[in-house]
A and B are shown apart, each in its own frame.
Chain A
Amino acid sequence: MLTVDIKKQLPDFALQLEFAVDRNILVLFGPSGCGKTTTLRCIAGLLRPDAGKIACDGQVFYDSQTSVHVPPRVRSIGYMFQDYALFPHMSVKKNVWYGVQQRNTHTDEMYRKLMGLLKIEQLEKRYIGQLSGGEKQRVALARALMAEPKILLLDEPLSSLDYATRMELQAELKKMQELWGIPFILVTHDPDEARAMGDQIVFIDQGRQVAPPLSWSR
């Protein structure tokens, strides 16, 4: 269970959110620039909130009262960036292995399983520049999961893909979440994606949680 309660002053408004997510998919839904990515960066530890508390299963990541701010590298929070942020100077294989501290039979097995599930075994030796958008997305997902995160954050994971690939990957993301059994927090501005993916949806506008728009009810 991840609990988030953060305040952060942004140039145009103050971000103030409070939510919790268990082993399912939480969607942060809202227009561009409403503070979704900032929220993810705070959870990952790449950005320090002004106040509040972030904790997961009893482990405190951030607490303004006790001045705790755990650096991202020890949080075990996977982060899939909007443009995937794959390392262009490394092969697919090296990218996927990057987050593994120690190789052993368990990681070897997980690597084969992940590459198989995501159907990217044949891309192992390629460089990132030689991949399509959908392939990059899969490699990024494999890389994030190889590091065995306790939570996975996904920033607009499907927005730059064409319709067919998007549908395929939506199903794959759901499947991976079920298999891995860790909380996924997914950010999107696409209502269809939010509906399709979210077990829980947090509607955000100008940095605050709002009620679902009237047009939302099906």
Chain B
Amino acid sequence: MVEWQPIILSLKVACMSLVFVFIFGIFFAYVLRRWEFSGKAAIEAFFALPLVLPPVVTGFILLILIGKQGPIGRFLGEYFHTQIIFTPYAAMLAGTVVAFPLMYHSAKAAFQSVDSKLEDAARTLGASEWRVFFTITVPLAWPGLVAGLVLSFARALGEFGATIMVAGNIPGKTQTIPLAIYFASEANDLTTAGLYVIIISLITFSMIFWLNTWSRKKMGTSPAGGIF
């Protein structure tokens, strides 16, 4: 039986992750681009961890952090009388953490591709740093930023390993599409699993299709076709 809950939760997880990685990914990529300090390499390596570690390991670390006895879990329990472990929020956290490196690295590459002379030119024309950022840096880095968003969305939508560690598989509550596919197959319910597979494929396909069409329209004269 295909249910709405996993589909809705998966979309929520992907969208929430998108919002968070967009803000934090761009923020860190922009700040670290200019700023040279001794611990920079270590921080960048740390940011890449969720990409290179097996998702189950990322999930395990998160479990330790947000579990009832973990530092974050304790903090939440003491000050907010709540827990996020084994709730939909944990699924969103897992999605955000695994998607972050993709956004960070895409944004970093996108910002590096922007000719700093153009930003300097804007400064000599009287533009504030904010104006330079929003009128020069972001528009010129936009294709790379959008590519990062698509990768992050897809990664968060398909997240399995870390999600099952921190959100568990509570049907009707924390089940996402990938978890539903796995447990339906486990139970030999291939029809349900197949339907979920079709749904998640359709979501991903339409997202990329829409983005390609939109970016082509937006870029206007750009010779390159879609982003993907």
Binding site for B on A (CB under 8 A): 44-46, 71-79, 81, 83, 85-89, 98-99, 101, 127, 129, 143-144, 147
**Sample (27) of A-B pairs whose CB atoms are under 8 Å apart:** A44-B120, A44-B124, A45-B123, A45-B124, A72-B124, A73-B124, A73-B125, A73-B126, A73-B128, A76-B126, A78-B124, A78-B125, A79-B124, A81-B117, A81-B121, A85-B117, A85-B120, A87-B122, A87-B136, A88-B118, A88-B140, A98-B122, A98-B135, A99-B126, A99-B127, A144-B125, A147-B126
Q: For A98, what are the chain B residues with a Cβ–Cβ distance below 8 Å?
A: 122, 125, 127, 135
Which of B118, B120, B125, B140 touches A147 (beta carbons < 8 Å)? B125
Complex: A99 Cα to B136 Cα, angstroms: 13
Q: What 4 A-B pairs have minimum CB-CB distances, sorted nearest first?
A: A99-B125, A85-B121, A79-B124, A72-B123
**Apart from A45-B124, A74-B126, A101-B126, what are 13 other A-B pairs with CB-CB below 8 Å?**
A45-B123, A46-B123, A72-B124, A73-B128, A77-B124, A81-B117, A85-B115, A85-B120, A88-B140, A98-B122, A98-B125, A129-B221, A144-B125
B131 nearest CB neighbor, chain A only? A73
**A-side contacts of B221, CB under 8 Å:** 127, 129
The size class of the interface chain B forms with chain A is 10 to 19
Chain B, interface SS category: helix
Asked if B139 is at the interface (CB within 8 A of a chain A CB), the reply is yes
Chain A residue at minimum C-beta to C-beta distance from B132: A73
Contacts of B117 in A (CB 8 A): 81, 83, 85
* Residues of B near any A CB (own CB < 8 A): 115, 117-118, 120-128, 135-136, 139-140, 221
Q: Are A87 and B124 in contact, CB atoms less than 8 angstroms apart?
A: no
Nearest CB in chain A: distance from B218 CB, A: 10
Contacts of A147 in B (CB 8 A): 124-126
Contacts of A75 in B (CB 8 A): 124
Provide the residues of chain B in CB contact with A72, threshold 8 Å.
Answer: 120, 123-124
Q: Which residue on A lies nearest to B125, using beta carbons?
A: A99
Considering the complex, give the chain B residue whose CB is closest to the CB of A149: B124
Q: Are A79 and B121 in contact (CB under 8 A)?
A: yes
Q: From the candidates A46, A73, A79, name the one contacting B127 in the complex (CB within 8 A).
A: A73
CA distance A151 to B125 in the complex (A): 12
